[in-house]
Every structure is written in structure tokens, then in C-alpha cells.
Amino acid sequence: MKTFYSSVVELRQEFVTDIETHPYECGWADEAIFFVEVHAPEPGVRLGLRVQLSPDGIRWHDEGTVIDTGTSTFARVTHFGGFLRLAGAAHRPDGTAAPATISVRLALKG
Amino acid sequence: MPFSPTGYFDPLPRILVADDFDHGMNGWLDLRPNFVAPGFREHSDDIDLIHWGPTMLSSATFAFGGTHGSANGTYSLKISSRAAAAPPDQPPAPGSMGLAIKRLAVPPGVRRLRVEALVAYKVEQDRPGLGVNDLRAFGMFVDLQDGEHRYMPGVRYVNAVEGSPVRRWQYYSPTTATDEEWSYGADGWHKAGIDPQWFGERAADGSTVATTWFDDGEQHLIYNESDDKLNWTPFSLTVDLTRRCYEELRVGGKVLRFPDGAHPTLAPAYDDIQGLLNPVFFVEADTDRRVSLFLDSVLVSAEGELA
């Protein structure tokens, strides 16, 4: 049997400006899915998040996967080394930054 | 649950669970509140209980040292806080702790319980220097309930307070606080003495209304000389379930004695949890810096037979 674990990395967490989720160690896993849920979003606000990976949980690089949602969505990730997080921000239609309350669940298998 | 036994462990005769984190999470997960209020909100909002740091399987990998691995293998359980802390005489700040729990039940005839682990603790190496005094505390307790009482025997290593070293062990002891005082003024769900890891008035020296310092509790554990070096240290707490009192704490090369009959607060029993046996490990930040408690493995054992 493979190992499976889902971590609720962020639960109803309010981010006022920049969004950076907790550095999550998951080198044991072969595959990951980030589930992102936006709570009570302002009308028109979009969440733009980039999947990032890291050699040490401190120095981060864009992995290439991008999330753009106003409600909820998911992103699949593979071949990510030891650490994963999401980074980005929420924006109003006019481009100004908006606060956002989000939950992020990370489903891992390997 | 495959397990690699080592001479670090000295279990009681009945092994209840032997968790080696090279083989997955073994049922350990984040300690979270009860999401039973309308809209799946948490059961109480006296303090923020939903933003503690997440638990994960770690290879203990660092920027300069590479992968440390665990005492037996590659993976350990990493319990992490977020980068937040409140002053020591205030309730814990949102995210300032990380807690991992495993939920079991007491089998018939058990009179003594022992929780053992190999542990290490580190501060995130996100800046130059030595971060040892940015970690306030770590500890372990067991959530227990028999026919009369819910009680939480446990110990806490107060490593540093407001950046100054303390390096002393304390144990959870009875409180005379009212339920309202215990929950920082909110008379709701919680009974005095329950969840001492975050409830009960705190003092500037790192104590709370439900902690007592060991007489000989000073101990300089191995943090090591850098934030990326860790030493697996044996931990063992034994509890007498018939007297609801402490027996012995062993950490590293030290045996800490409890005063005879010492016990935690004996609270009234709660509904629907009689017989639970939930060990919890936790870590607390002292500054705005992430801290972690690593567990190579956990062994829960017991003594006592069916009559």
C-alpha cells in the first residue's frame, strides 16, 4: 500500500497582502494535489497563486503551476523534491491587492 | 506498524502501539478543535485554536547540512509552529504552537501507562546565528478519562522565555481556577485543568496556574551548536492510572522524580470520551520564528492484565 496523507496546511487563514502558505515537507510523496478554497470572497476578487518548491523550506522557486480562482480549485504537482508551498496574492478587478481568507489542503501520496 | 527496536526504549510489558515514522504518519495528526458549531465553525472561540502549525513527515533536511534523517532511517514526525508568539504571560498567539495527537482507548486491566519517544527540537534556520532561545517550550501530555475524571498528565520543557534560557522541566498540576478563569474569561466548553497546554493564566517566568517546576528539573538538553544539527534524545513518561498520578520522567540521561502522589487537575468527566488515551506532543515558539519538534518514533506501552 502507498502512504497517503492530507494536511490542512492553512485553515480559514486570512492573508492581508501577500500569500505564502506554510512550508510543507513531503519528500516521501510522489504526487501532490493542492486544494484551494476561498472563503466569502469579495465580488470580483481573484486569487493568483504559484506552486513553489524548495531545497530547504526557506529558499523558494516557482515550479510552473499557476492557480487562478475566485472560489475553489485544485492543482496537481509531481517531481517536487522535498518542500512545497503556494505563494501569490488576491487582486480586485482594478488590480489592487485584496485581503483573502483561504483554506489550503495538500493531498500527498507515495 | 513495522518498528526498529533500539536500546533507547524500555517499554512496559504490553506494547499498545509502536510508531516508526519511516512507515507513515501512524495515525498522528494535527490537534484541532471540534468543528460542531453552525457553518462547521469551531466549538469555542476563547482563543484561536485553528491556526497551529501543521504536522508532517520530515527527512530533517537543511540548507547547509543536507538531509539529517532520523535515528533509524530517513523520516521523523515534524511538529511545527508558525512564525508567531505572544509574551509568556499572555495566552498563546494564533499559530504559536504545533501539536500532534494520536487517538486511542485504554484496554481492559491497564494500571500503568508509559509513553516513550526519541525527540529533537530545532528553530528554523532562516537567519544567521544560533536560534536556540527562539524556542519557548516543548512537551507531551496524555488526554485520559476514566469513569469519574478527565485528566491530562504531562510535562513541559521550558527552554527559553523572551529570549533568555530557562532549560527546566515542569509538570501539569492541579489548578484552583474556575472554568471561566481557565478559559481566559469565556465560560464555555472547557473545564478547568483541561488542555493545560494553552489554557490557564500564564506568568512571565514560563509557568502557568497548572504547572509545577520539578525540584531537580534543570536540564541542558542537546540543542547542538547550529540550527541544522539535531541529536535524537530519549523521552519516557510513566503514569499510574489507578491513582491518576505520575510515576517517573526520563529524558536523555536524567531521571526526574515527581513528588509522591503528584497528579494533574482531576476534572469532571466529559460526554462520549470515557476511556480515551490520546498522547499529544507539542512545541511552542518564543519569537516570530518557526520552531519544530521532531519525533523519530513513539512507543506506547502498558502494564496490567485482565482480572
Q: Identify all chain A residues contacting B51, using CB atoms and an 8 Å cutoff.
A: 11, 13
Q: Which of residues 21-80 of B touch A (CB under 8 A)?
A: 23-25, 30, 32, 50-51, 53-59, 61-63, 75, 78, 80
The residues, ordered by sequence, that sit 6+ positions from B195 with a Cβ below 8 Å of its Cβ are B152
Examine the pLDDT at A104 and tell me if it is beyond 70: yes
CA distance B59 to B62: 9
Range of the domain at A38: 4-109
Question: What tens digit of pLDDT does each residue of B4-29 get?
Answer: 557 899 999 999 999 999 999 999 99
CA distance B153 to B238: 9
The full set of domain ranges for chain B reads 16-303
Query: What band does A62 get if pLDDT is binned at 50, 70 and 90?
Result: very high
Which residue of A10, A11, A16 to mutate against B (max B Cβ within 10 Å)? A11
CA distance B153 to B171: 8
Q: Identify all chain A residues contacting B25, using CB atoms and an 8 Å cutoff.
A: 3, 5
CB contact under 8 A, B50 and A12: yes
CB contact under 8 A, A22 and B59: no
- The per-residue pLDDT for B306 is 67
The residues, ordered by sequence, that sit 6+ positions from B29 with a Cβ below 8 Å of its Cβ are B55, B100, B101, B102
Question: What tens digit of pLDDT does each residue of A22-37 get?
Answer: 999 999 999 999 999 9
CA distance B257 to B241: 17
- The per-residue pLDDT for B144 is 98
CB contact under 8 A, B82 and A22: yes
Q: Identify all chain B residues contacting A32, using CB atoms and an 8 Å cutoff.
A: none
Residue A51: give its domain's CATH number: 2.60.120.660
The candidate with the shortest Cα–Cα distance to B119, out of B162, B184, B167, B71, is B71
- Smallest CA–CA distance, residue B297 to chain A, in Å, is 17
The partner residue sitting opposite A56, judged by closest CB among B24, B32, B62, is: B62
Which class is domain B16-303? mainly beta
Show the cell assigned to A23.
512550508
- The per-residue pLDDT for B45 is 75
Q: CB distance from A55 to chain B under 8 Å?
A: yes
The candidate with the shortest Cα–Cα distance to A100, out of A57, A52, A36, is A36
CA distance B76 to B95: 21
- Smallest CA–CA distance, residue A65 to chain B, in Å, is 23
Render the burial of B40-52: b for 16+ CB within 10 Å, e for the rest: eebeeebbbbbbb
Domain total of chain A: 1
3-state secondary structure of B169: strand
Across the A:B interface, residue pairs with CB atoms under 8 Å apart total 55
Q: Which residues of chain B have pLDDT under 70?
A: 1-5, 188, 306-307
The partner residue sitting opposite A8, judged by closest CB among B30, B62, B63, is: B30
Which residue of B19, B56, B81, B292 to mutate against A (max A Cβ within 10 Å)? B56
- The per-residue pLDDT for B138 is 98
Say if CB A77 and CB A63 are below 8 A apart. Answer: yes
Q: Identify all chain A residues contacting B63, using CB atoms and an 8 Å cutoff.
A: 55-56, 58-59
